[in-house]
Amino acid sequence: MASTNPNNGTLLGMTAVTTLESFGNSTSNASRAVWPAMTDAQKDARYTCNVYDFIIEAVFMGALCVFGFCGNTLSILCLNRDKSKTATPFLLVSLELADTFFLITVLILRVLTTLQTFTMSLPWLVDVFPYMGKYVFPCAMISEMATIYLTLLVTVNRYISVCRPYEVSDFCSARHARRHVIVVVAFAMAYNVPRFFEYDVVQTFDERMNKTILINVPSSLFTNHIYQIVYSNVLYFLVMFCVPLIILIILNARLIKALRKTKKKRAQLLNSSTADSSSRSEDDITLVLIVVVLVFVVCQTPALVTQLLIVILPEQHCPNPFFYYERISDLMVVANSSANFIIYCFCSRKFRQILVSLLCKNRPDSPEPSHVARQYKQVPAQPRASVVSTNLVVNGNTEAKTQVSCV
């Protein structure tokens, strides 16, 4: 089960270390009979915690991982069919790849380990557990940080496109977006390099099993007091929580305000039935990003509370309210990496059309992606003038804004 020791760094609240020290000792199953030194009440409590872990981590997290793999794959295929020359499709594809990699680490660290601990159905994993804790956990942290900052990057990109199109317009180009993604990934990898040295894999003799097993033990780096305060707590809290969440909330609020002004002005200038597809497409991608950020904030805020409680509270042992809350916050983090496909389907007309074209391409009445793309490029002359007027109101500018295509 996941440890609530404050020395165990968390994945935005995910105690995905999953008790690194016990990875090599996960050979005990959920049966009450394997705890002879415990009282009956302690055995019942431990069994209840294991069952709860199994439901949350093996069942729900496993289902979210499978759904996320399918949804993210479809999202990547659809976004790659968007032939627009802007940065948005590429940034969203990068975000989906980071989410998918994170889900893979969750599947390894949480789902498989819980299945083995509860059911003993994967005995071959016992000797692999310590190495999973040492090497997969840092990879999970890298993908988690990449997901956070790619979400921030695509939000900044959209904010500039909508609210500051003339100030740093080159920032939104596809060419610069590739560089920005490389910088984000490099930063995530460099920041988490120390994670690979936090635990050592050592051999120890297990008297209960009467054999030598591998376990994780904290390294001298991990037990260093300064390292714990500066890197594991202060920097982790600022870099993984405060800075990105505050920036996302501010930018999202401004995007919502800009979207409302755009729709209000368009409603005054032309009937919604005659609004051009280009302007609607622009609104769609803004709406997509707004919802993506809202879901991100909602799903990550409980993890922020978890991190604070881990630092403030003394070491917690199951069963207690924090144990149950912590698992729910973990589940919401996983849900965040699985939810974007649903957001795209509900908020983007263009994405839905490309998805239908992708899934039903053998139907004679199904439009090809190129047809979909051409549809969104055709802009009638009169409605275009109205959209320009809208941009004048939103941005307070006297120049016409160059349209940025969307998902």
Convert the pLDDT of each residue in 230-245 to its tens digit: 998 889 889 988 899 9
Name the pTM for this structure.
0.77
pLDDT in the model for residue 382 = 42
The confidence score (pLDDT) of residue 280 equals: 65
Residue among 184, 198, 196, 309 nearest 239 (CA): 184
Amino acid 383: pLDDT:
41
Tell me what pLDDT residue 24 has. Answer: 36
Question: Given this model, what pLDDT does residue 34 score?
Answer: 44
Is 20-379 a domain of CATH 3.30.300.20?
no
CA distances from 110 to 33, 160, 233, 333 (A): 24, 38, 23, 13
* pLDDT tens-place string over residues 349-363: 888 889 998 888 755
* Angstrom distance (rounded) from CA 51 to CA 29: 11
| Beta carbons of 89 and 177 less than 8 angstroms apart | no
- pLDDT score recorded for residue 233: 86
What residue ranges of the chain have pLDDT lower than 70? 1-38, 85, 120-123, 166-171, 266-282, 316, 362-407
Encode pLDDT of 136-165 as tens digits.
Answer: 999 999 999 999 999 999 999 888 887 777
Predicted local confidence at residue 343, as pLDDT:
94
Task: Indicate the domain borders of the chain.
Answer: 20-379
CB 400 within 8 A of CB 388: yes
Three-point CA angle 96, 100, 101, nearest 5°: 120
